[in-house]
Structure 1
């Protein structure tokens, strides 16, 4: 590198991406005494926890994440004392509800297990007993689950003590291994049919698999239904007061209190590599910033390997693995500013107090049709809509209208599992032009279906709507590759130590000693857990020879 092109400023560590995982990693590095810089491409921090006024001024929509549930198992808020940096949660009594069409009722998960069981009993006493058994099993294994989430993954070669045969004969040990493997790979349909008899309970608990783009028959869907529903039963589905962005804002405040810095509107063009080590980054504007110790990236793995590093610096097998990564199905978003509260066909008092409401008929065939259409390149005619009840949970999300006797409200419909590319009747593939031409009509179709079957005053309550197609999501932020949420589909071979691919399962780049992954493309994956960022920081600081006991809680 020529002297004239050398960086003019140096940091110990550069973190690419100011989403909640990138900021979490940066906070722990700063806590350990490193001089840290976070670079963010977008004009605001937040990433998948971004909050913006995209409908009307004063109406604060969470663009992606809304419910704070998985993060209830995270030690980060306590370890970084985020409460003192402006982080505050609202704790609704109800975690989530599933509304069935045309006065067919609803099932709700409450913080109270007994109330959840009463809600399920309306449809099946057996299903209520089954849920209690499942949740009791979760509570027995809770400490292990928390540990698995909040520690770097263990490879099979390292996991020699997972089943002890000292006091167990060989047959029993094999049963334990077999049951564990079955649960990890069981499909949503298999898991629901095994545990529930009513179509209502199957739809309620089965709807957690589509949250991460898994169809009824995709491997691993059952395990995710079990985990997500049990975690909500355990810690609730909480709401970040003032908008989800206040989580990354609190992380940013902590980081800055430790001397860390954040630069927005700063797209990284390249990570500079010399002799198998990162020496810094080059920004899109040509500016170069030096890194004395390391670079960590919370971008998706494909962007990191193929664009920021470059194929010439990594093994061809690694490149091949990245290029065959599966991204999963895309999402579609409808953000609505309302002139008053919604009226439901059933369960008015309960549903108005639910942070999120799933809308679907009972049974699993509804989901099967969605995935058949989506994976055939057609937007589902009757998709699964996840409604976030933004302002009913947090009145600070909207401004009052003095000329309106009803208080204004704000909701979001996140429509799961739509195609990134629309396949036309003649077999041609469209993307940006097709979605731009179709998204208004598709939104009207979805709203009309919801209006007729679930919420009869929805149409007349809309002040303003904003629509994001998969192509729109891909533009903001850049981690929404192909309009998806997860930075790589959640499949058995893209999970745990194999996430995103086995060569990168330890958050490290094999051929470059000081570049790390710290985003949702790594274990444990998507959702707001802060775990990928915290886990990566554990690996980084261990490599730097820093005593982790002074930085992290030990599990």
Structure 2
């Protein structure tokens, strides 16, 4: 009934749920509307490859959220969230059989790095000390409204900050590290922001990512990534909030500059006398739910040019037993493995090929040994692995290797998966192909079909670019969690600080909303 809810959140991904939790704790009656049959968005787990084999469909690693206060503030551990944080924590495996690992202690990491270059090991010690000194400011920057550019670059060392923030990964690693292997590894960390070695912003992102892995470690969620959203949903329910699934929002009605109702796909209209927060991707919000008539031609034009970034390709394998790495047991024990290298130019070539519409010949592949770390994910004695190709084209024009014919993902995805499995079996995981009992292959089109916000098979709600970050993310008119509609806010990865399981956009948006409403932010 009209007036039953003081806040409505569109989209029950982890950021939408985080925002809803804080609004409910501030005393508002909250409703979360989710178009799919389950909540969680990109923090869902499903039996993709075969029955009994539980894979994280999108997000797998739980990293940056551990730097933010949200998990403790919302008591997610009390709601059943359990983390598995292996040691060693991260690995880079190379075609020659060698591996580099990040241990839970920086000296363990330095020892591993020293096999490639003692100078690089010492450089990492210095970079990590620099991170620890800057950590309070880094966390504060993530968990607050981004400042205007004029403020951000007004400090005494603004010139050096500006250079590093916009420096490419290639420029940074070549001036910082000596060995080609460490240059490859650190540049590959920028791929988690979909940043090529020669893209602006790569240096800063790579440093922060690797340092965060060293600091808090990448965890796997016991029982599947869906337990993140399940814990959030339980906290929301404990404070009177509600979630309605199978309730997609079709449009938002606006009068006199304020949102007054939402219309669902089935025609139901829910009146709004309060605030509306959106966790859907910014373009869908602006053009589909609001419409050009509401936001104006100029703003619509800007959002139409919004850049989505690079597309993912996923292979989920049910195995009859573990497939050990050629590089040794340390790689088998880690939570996440980068597969590729050692040439920095290989990374650059992958992006050049993908951006030209070609299936990359030697992409970097991220591997998660899901059942090896969490035996509950697979039947006893079996194994489950997930491989994510960074990156592939959304629209295919050809194959860089010249072996695969066809250009539509539905026709070629299995052939490309075969090529990637052959490469993995030959160079990195001997015998992998022979252990496969079932598999699921997810192309960019498949990811997009599964969830509307995975536009072009991406997970970021928009690329990380100089003009799509901070106060300008997604565009200035929708920046800092606000929109041109007075009571409509953004709380998803299309806002600062962006993608990843951080809970920061949801928390930050709730803090802004509470401030606008004169409510105490219940941290």
1:145 aligned partner = 138
**Per-residue CA distance 1:230-259 (angstroms, 9 max, x = gap):** 000000111111111101100000001111
Of residues 493, 508, 513 in structure 2, which corresponds to 1:535? Answer: 508
Aligned-partner SS, 1:345: coil
How far does residue 456 in structure 1 lie from its aligned partner after superposition?
A: 0.8
Flag the 1:531–1:15 CA change in 2: closer, same or farther, 3 A.
same
Question: Aligned-pair distance for 1:317?
Answer: 2.5
Taking structure 1 as reference, are residues 531 and 346 closer, same or farther at Cα in structure 2, changes over 3 Å only?
Answer: same
Aligned to 1:300: 281
Counterpart for residue 488 of structure 2: 515
CA–CA distance in 2 between the matches of 1:363 and 1:523?
A: 32
Preserved CA contact (<8 Å) 1:8 1:288:
no
State the match for 2:448 in structure 1: 474
| Counterpart-to-counterpart distance in 2, 1:96 and 1:266 | 39
The whole-number CA distance in structure 2 between the counterparts of 1:209 and 1:476 is 26
Question: Is the Cα–Cα contact under 8 Å of residues 296 and 518 in structure 1 kept in the other structure?
Answer: yes
On the 8 A contact 2:65/2:71 being kept in 1, the answer is: no
Is 2:69 aligned against 1:75? yes
Is the aligned partner of 1:375 residue 2:355? yes
In 2, Cα distance between equivalents of 1:234 and 1:40: 35
Aligned pairs, number: 517
Q: C-alpha distance in 1, partners of 2:70/2:92? A: 30
Deviations 1:239-295 (A, max 9, x none): 111111101100000001111110111111001212211112100000111221011
Kept after mapping to 2: 8 A contact 1:272/1:278: yes
CA offset at residue 212 of structure 1? 2.1
Q: TM-score, normalised on structure 1?
A: 0.91
1:109 and 1:540 map into 2 onto residues whose CA distance is 39
After superposition, residues 185-264 of structure 1 pair within 5 angstroms as 185-264=166-245
Give the conservation status (yes or no) of the 8 Å contact 1:10–1:289.
no
Task: Give 3-state SS (helix, strand or coil) of 2:276's partner.
Answer: strand
TM-score norm. by structure 2 comes to: 0.97
Deviation for aligned residue 1:80:
1.1
**Which of 343, 357, 368 pairs up with 1:388?**
368
Separation in structure 2 between the aligned mates of residue 202 and residue 351 of structure 1, nearest angstrom: 19
Render the CA deviation track for 1:64-123: whole Å, top value 9, x for unaligned: 1111111111101111111111111112112210000132x0111111101000000000
Distance in 2 separating the partners of 1:157 and 1:541: 26
Contact 1:301–1:521 (8 Å) recurs in 2: yes
Distance 2:133 2:298 in 1: 41
Pairing of 1:89-238 with structure 2 (within 5 A): 89-103=83-97, 105-157=98-150, 163=155, 173=156, 176-238=157-219
State the superposition RMSD in angstroms: 1.4
Q: 1:94 to 1:33 in 2, by over 3 A?
A: same
The CA distance in 1 between the partners of 2:513 and 2:57, in whole Å, is 31
2:403 is matched with which residue?
Answer: none
Give the gaps of 5 or more residues in structure 2.
Answer: 400-405
1:319 to 300, 312, 323: 300
Instruction: Classify the secondary structure of the residue corresponding to 1:215.
Output: coil
Q: Distance in 2 between matches of 1:11 and 1:379?
A: 48
In structure 2, the partner of 1:340 is 321
d(CA) in 2 for partners of 1:547, 1:157: 29
The answer as to whether partners of 2:123 and 2:177 remain within 8 angstroms in 1 is yes
In the other structure, the counterpart of 2:402 is: none
Distance 2:322 2:149 in 1: 52
